[in-house]
Structure 1
Amino acid sequence: MARPRIGVTGPDRGGVAAWIMTWWAIWRAGGKAIHITPGRPRSCRELDGLVIGGGADVDPSLYGQDPLSLIREIDATEIGWRQRILGFVLYPLLWLLRRVLYTKRHGGDADRDRLERTLILEALDQGLPMLGICRGMQLLNVVCGGTLHQNLEGFYQEHPQVRSVLPRKVVTLTEGSRIAELTGAEPLSVNALHNQAVADLGQDLVVAAREASGVIQAIESRSASLILGVQWHPEYLPQKSRQRRLFQGLVESSRDLSVRV
């Protein structure tokens, strides 16, 4: 059976690390990733599913961490010798990959905004399965008529703000949500690379996960199609089976759509 075609959006410059890791996640899930940028646009008519990727405004040294502090954090975060070994191999590689490939951008990316807005509207109109990651979740909410918190500093007076590629933040999933069905209902450990977050929900969107501070960490659509948004980066946690299920769910839903068509 042919692999479902999953579009993955990103900028014309930068974003290479995110593209590589998302391509791998989709391939492992049984799909075929197709890179979409403002310079290489595609239509949703050519796709079976869509990933609206994260932004490129991430510090190349993984948010103030040097390699030694990263190793200490892995040792404190990962439980079990298998996860620890994978962590010691994977996270330093991600740190190096982002440092080498990082392209700093000042301001926004209007061309990318226009492209992704068009794709989101097309996907919603066609009932295309969709996953928004970090910036992608925020843009999905905005396109649906929602708003964003421009700065999250006020949310972390009682709960410390976590900013790490490691799964150091715990989110609580909404009972009965599509995300909980995919990953399991237990609290989920996630990474955190964002400065902004969803405020008012867009039309037909509901909260699928929150962190202890109350910040929304996942949203999903009430529609029959699998339309999810997560504030974290599951592509950077390929060793975590619960994170892989997000891509597996997207690919399976895309395969079902391609078969019906």
Structure 2
Amino acid sequence: MDVDIALLWIEHHQQPGTPPLADAGEDQFGYLDFLCTFDGSNTVEMDGDLVNYTWNFTYSEDMIHLYGVNPQFLFQIPGVYLVTLTTTDKDGTDSDTMTVTVAPARANISFQAGWNLLSYWVDTGESPIENVFFEEWDNIESILYYSEVSGWLTYHATAPYWLNTLHTVSNHNGYWVNFYENSDNILTIEGKISRETQIHLNRGWNLVGYPCETAGLADSVLTGTGYDLLMKFDPLKEYNLASMDGMSENMEPGKGYWVHVPADSSYTVSHIFP
């Protein structure tokens, strides 16, 4: 009887085990500079064996290999990426796939024919003006920007290149933009999302943007700046400007603002998703 039990034990333990059942997790979506955390935690291992996790995908013509249950990867190029998870233990291998979709963020900005005081919340860095406004480039007559350091910088469509002084733009700033009468009413600008944007203010008047996708109470946005005057665009007012009450009025995505401060200061805008 003891021999029979021993033979049964040997026969049972010599049978092949079960390979792990790979699970690459849900498909994921993000904007440029998307830090993706992969999730292989739902992979099933019936035998309690040690499992090796390998993630493979093509990125910018290179084959990427990541290892572990929850590796991370920073996607800085838009596209749809097919990711394969291969799980391996002593009994064999299995694989599963998922996709990562990375898209540029798009700011859709409403405007009217004539003058507008605009900004944009997506991050384009300090980019050539024609690259940022290319969608409506042929419908723009002029763009103006002001700071206490540079004074007025200008772009005029009909002016010689050497007379134009505004060559680059960023989402830190507000811009006066004059559109021709035949313009569309939506300007789309593509970029990435910055979780936080620090904006420096010089003593005096500053023409600032609002780099956030969600409106925020002006007093809260400008906390710590000591601002004493705040103005917004109003086409019904003289000079197209109206004073704002920072304690009750919001700063809004797509809008530009005049901010006056008695001393140099700075503030940080944290991006809030709608």
- TM class by shorter chain equals under 0.3
Structure with the larger RCO, 1 or 2 (CA within 8 Å, 6+ apart)? 1
With normalisation by structure 1, the TM-score equals: 0.28
TM-score by length of structure 2 reads: 0.27
Larger radius of gyration: 2
Structure with the bigger percentage of strand: 2
Higher helix share: 1
